[in-house]
Chains A and B, each alone.
Chain A
Amino acid sequence: MSKLRGKVWKFGNNINTDDIIPAIYLVTTDEKELAKHCFEGLRPELLEKIKSGDIIMAGENFGCGSSREHAPKALKGLGVSCVAAKSFARIFYRNAINIGLPIVECPAICDETSEGDTVEIEFEKGIAKNLTRKREYRFVIYPEFLQEIISAGGLMKYGRSSENV
């Protein structure tokens, strides 16, 4: 996931995990099944329009509320390539790292990007570009410890590969 590019869907502040996937659908662990109800109450039209590789962009505290890992799983099942936000709620953040859903904390680009813009993110360099508006932004790259989990392919693979933890 060194570099990815996609069309942006914009969301506001404090998007909670009930918004991402309502609890009533947590009767399966299948990503594709969960994806069918992603953002159902909040933006029912999105499901028909979103394409694989698109980017979700939000304000502060994305993913607050319940710890349900079904939320990042549903986004993965939907084909979302990355979530960019001004900030993330902590359980969503760790879930995304643990299961390999790329996320980026970059307030500036979230402020200056509109829905439908095309954005490119270079994770290792900490650079986010709005290609539509020809603007470039910097973000803080993941701390070393988290990079190890990410490059191992998620927490469970990290656990199996490093017997020293």
Chain B
Amino acid sequence: MGSTITQKILSSHCAREEVIPGEFIMARVDFLLANDITAPVAIEEFEKAGADKVFASDRIALVLDHFTPAKDIKSAEQARFVREFARKRKIKYFFKEGKGIEHALIPEEGLALPGEVIIGADSHTCTYGALGAFATGVGSTDAAFAMMKGEIWLKVPETIKFVYSGKLRQWVSGKDLILFTIGNIGVNGANYCAMELSGEAIENLSQDSRFTMANMAIEAGAKSCIIEPDRITQDYLRNVPEIEGRSAVDYKSDSDAVYKNILRYNVGEIEPQVALPPSPGNVKPVSEVNSINIDQAVIGSCTNGRIEDLRIAAKVLEGKKAHEYVRLIIIPATEKVYHKALREGLIEIFISSGAIVSPPTCGPCIGGHMGVLGKGEKAVATTNRNFTGRMGHPESEIYLCNPAVAAASAIKGRISSPEGLESKV
């Protein structure tokens, strides 16, 4: 009986020939991360346990990205607490405010590689599966334990395989495929499972769109999401820094691997999708929801703040203005993305369209700052969650969509398809 790519990675990290779904293992951790919200709890647990040192100071990242630059005094104190720990413990990958949103930043810095086990005290850590790593979100105490031991306890997940065939329509990207999938299987449709994405449409999908898809696997309850490394993965990795002591191992699922389920979709039938509040599983095609007026549009986050996302937004926004009553907030996910957008002239397009361009931060996605919603306000957002009150007031609403739909909606003042809005320049 064959193994899935997920089983192979996990067995290689607990010195076993093979692992079986359902069994508990202690797996070696190649890299772990925490942020300004989850690290303080992890650090407290780490210190409380009397640990004398971290297992490896070059295998840990602490990223100040959630309430940063500090939204208030308490947030500033939390960031300071993390910074002091990073300094004291000589944590090699300490990323200060503005460097980037963790799940865009870590791969960009070469810190997530195929075949690795990566854990993060943040639910969207599953993003790195887009490079063929086993990556999963855990809690702060898990992160503290891993900081101490370099290990994580895991129940080996079953895998659900998703096969995407066909060619993407115009304005359809990874965001639409994953929203469509979550809409299809539900917000607990992949609970405790690994999602394995495959098929012609995935093989042809850009790395940025792959990150977007893997990022939202948690929204279907998945433990992890994985795409077998291929030519597109390798092209991406050629352009990131090489890290000493780290190396990629490309695994593939065996042809006789056992899956919990195999689901097939023809992407040619999928138009841009919108997830209506209050659930990422409440998904409809944009053509069915285009009469809803909006107050804000957010383009950014660990889901859709990468360069491809900004290029798409610019394509829609070029030479146009955001609606006079709509706040358009654009958040490049990392310093490098920001810089690239600047050099490509995208920031010029955004400012000319009346957008607010924010420094890299999670900010509005978690209702922190940089675009919090008031009572009764509605927003389109390229973020990942539209839970009640997630972006601000409990009576505000979030509609999740791709960057093209967000940009088009910002122009029209209502949820809108980007059809016909493409710049003619």
List A residues at the B interface (Cβ < 8 Å).
14, 16, 18-19, 22-24, 26-29, 41-42, 60-61, 64-70, 73, 87, 89-91, 94-95, 98-99, 143, 145-146, 149, 154-157, 159-160, 165
A-B contact pairs, 28 of them (CB 8 A): A14-B188, A18-B385, A22-B389, A23-B367, A24-B367, A26-B37, A27-B72, A61-B187, A61-B191, A61-B221, A64-B221, A65-B123, A65-B387, A66-B122, A67-B120, A67-B138, A89-B221, A91-B137, A91-B139, A94-B142, A98-B141, A99-B139, A145-B24, A155-B144, A156-B48, A156-B49, A160-B49, A165-B151
B120 CB contacts on chain A under 8 angstroms: 67
Q: B108 to nearest A CB, angstroms? A: 21
Residue contact A23 to B24, C-beta cutoff 8 Å:
no
Residue contact B144 to A64, C-beta cutoff 8 Å:
no
Q: CA A42 – CA B388 in complex, angstroms? A: 8
B303 CB contacts on chain A under 8 angstroms: none
Residue contact B67 to A165, C-beta cutoff 8 Å:
no
**Interface membership of B153, Cβ < 8 A:** yes
Q: CA A98 – CA B145 in complex, angstroms? A: 10
B48 CB contacts on chain A under 8 angstroms: 156
**Interface membership of B4, Cβ < 8 A:** no
Residue on A nearest B42 in the bound complex, by CB: A69
Residue on A nearest B75 in the bound complex, by CB: A27
Residue contact A23 to B26, C-beta cutoff 8 Å:
no
Q: CA A69 – CA B142 in complex, angstroms? A: 10
Residue contact B139 to A69, C-beta cutoff 8 Å:
yes
B367 CB contacts on chain A under 8 angstroms: 22-24
**Interface membership of B6, Cβ < 8 A:** no
Q: CA A155 – CA B138 in complex, angstroms? A: 13
B274 CB contacts on chain A under 8 angstroms: none
Residue on B nearest A23 in the bound complex, by CB: B366
Q: A18-B387, A27-B72 are in contact. List 20 more A-B contacts (CB 8 A).
A: A22-B389, A26-B67, A27-B67, A27-B78, A61-B221, A67-B125, A67-B137, A69-B140, A69-B141, A87-B191, A95-B139, A98-B142, A98-B145, A99-B139, A145-B24, A145-B153, A155-B153, A159-B145, A159-B149, A165-B149
